[in-house]
Amino acid sequence: MMQKKYIKWIVFLLLLVIVTVVAVIISLSSGEMNISVSQLPGLLKTREGLEYTVLMQIRLPRLILAISVGGALSLSGAILQGIYRNPLVEPYTLGISGGAALGVAIAIVFSLQSTIGAIILPVSGFIGAVIILFMVYFLSIRRGGLNINSMLLIGVMVSFVASSVMMFLMSITTSDNIQSIVFWIMGSLDESNSFLIKIALYSSFSGLFIAYLFAQPLNALRLGEAKAKHLGINTGATIRILFVTASLLTGISVSVVGVIGFVGLVIPHLVRLIIGNDYRILLGGSFLGGAVFLIICDTIARTVISPNELPIGVITGIAGGIGESFLSWF
Query: What are the structural domains of the chain?
Result: 2-327 (1.10.3470.10)
Does residue 321 carry a pLDDT above 80?
no
Range of weakest confidence among 167-176, 205-214, 285-294: 167-176
Residue 198: the pLDDT is 92
Residue 192: the pLDDT is 76
Range of weakest confidence among 64-68, 172-176, 289-293: 172-176
CA–CA gap between residue 198 and residue 221 (Å, rounded): 33
pLDDT in tens, 138-194: 887 765 566 777 788 888 888 888 888 988 988 888 888 888 888 888 888 887 788
Note the pTM of the prediction, 2 decimals: 0.91
Confidence of residue 67 (pLDDT cuts 50, 70, 90): very high
Residue 144: the pLDDT is 58
Give the strand pairing for 145-146 and 141-142: antiparallel
The rounded mean pLDDT for the chain is 85
- Prior bond to 307 cis, omega within 30? yes
**Count of C-beta atoms within a 10 Å radius of residue 177:** 17
**Sequence-ordered list of residues with C-beta below 8 angstroms from that of 61, at least 6 positions apart, any chain:** 191, 192, 194, 197
Does residue 289 carry a pLDDT above 90?
yes
Which residues make beta-bridge pairs with 146?
141
Phi then psi dihedrals of residue 110, to 5 deg: -95, 10
From 55, 68, 21, select the one nearest 257 (Cα to Cα): 68
CA–CA gap between residue 120 and residue 108 (Å, rounded): 9
Residue 322: the pLDDT is 76
Residue 72: the pLDDT is 94
